Structure 1
Amino acid sequence: MKLWVYIVALIAGASLSTEGAIYGELGKTIGKLESSFYNFFVGTIILGIVLLFLGKGSLSHSLKAPKWQLTGGFFGTIYLTILVISVPLVGVGLSMISVIVGQMIMSMIIEHKGWLGSEKISINKEKVIAIILMAASLILIY
């Protein structure tokens, strides 16, 4: 197994919680939608600079990509904007555990159906138990 992938994923999860807390507070200062816009604006500038030096693909190919593959930005915007709204209302912990439960449920459905180019992986009882335990954690955290 590639342990480093799990470590990087844990770091990504920690950074998402930090981001949610920061942008939740920024939303109180500049506005919720403005906070979300600021995130994507700054991210676009940073990624644009990184792309100049490290990019190996071709953005022009996005015109040839299937349209469903271009919807990720839409979902990212929904995710961050809802997080900016929910963190000040229910806290970072409850917001993030809700996000994780939603991610787990949807990822299991996507893999079970083989949607979006994913390998088909059946839902089993261990996965269902994991979802139940995560849902229970929502109740316990709340």
Structure 2
Amino acid sequence: MTQILTLCVVFAAGMGLSVEAGLLGPLGEAVGHMSATLCIFLVGSLLLSLALIFAPRRALPELFAQPRWMLTGGVLGPVYVVIMTTVTPLLGIGTTMVALLFGQIATGLLLDHFGAFGVARQRVDGYRLGALVLIAAALALIH
């Protein structure tokens, strides 16, 4: 039951990404893509700062004691948002989301296959490769 609930939460987060992409496109065209991205991260940072006040475990000093490569994920967020802000008005939300999904699944399968970043190894098999091919077909059909 926990796994089903977790999948539902992830599904809802995915729905939120589509809404975010839909909002970012017009915002980026109105104020510029970099300004829209900055706005998204400022609002998010403020909300996370407030949430951190109520978090049961605040380990900010420990954060900077971690290996630097673990912090490089912070670079990927703004790059992702700038790309989403820029391409969504050109491709549409659906096509953008399927292309994003294809990239996420392809990379996720590769990282799982090699057990990157300490995740449990899950070898790429025919089913997983088939899923990736179906997503590629969906991208070709929706575009």
Q: Normalised by the shorter chain, which TM-score bucket?
A: over 0.9
Q: What SS does structure 1 have at the residue aligned with 2:45?
A: helix
Partner of 1:7 in structure 2? 8
Partner of 2:20 in structure 1? 19
Partner of 2:109 in structure 1? 108
Q: Deviations over 1:22-76 (max 9, x none)?
A: 0111001111111011000110011001101225131111111011110111111
Residue 58 of structure 2 corresponds to residue 57 of structure 1: yes
Percent identical across equivalent pairs? 31
Structure 2: runs of 5 or more not aligned: none
**AA matched with 1:88:** P
| C-alpha distance 96-86 of structure 1, shift in aligned 2 (>3 A) | same
Structure 1: runs of 5 or more not aligned: none
CA distance in 2: counterparts of 1:134 and 1:71, whole angstroms: 28
Partner of 1:29 in structure 2? 30
Number of matched pairs: 142
CA distance in 1: counterparts of 2:70 and 2:56, whole angstroms: 19
CA distance in 2: counterparts of 1:116 and 1:68, whole angstroms: 10
**TM-score, normalised relative to structure 2:** 0.96
**TM-score, normalised relative to structure 1:** 0.96
**AA matched with 1:130:** A
RMSD: 1.0
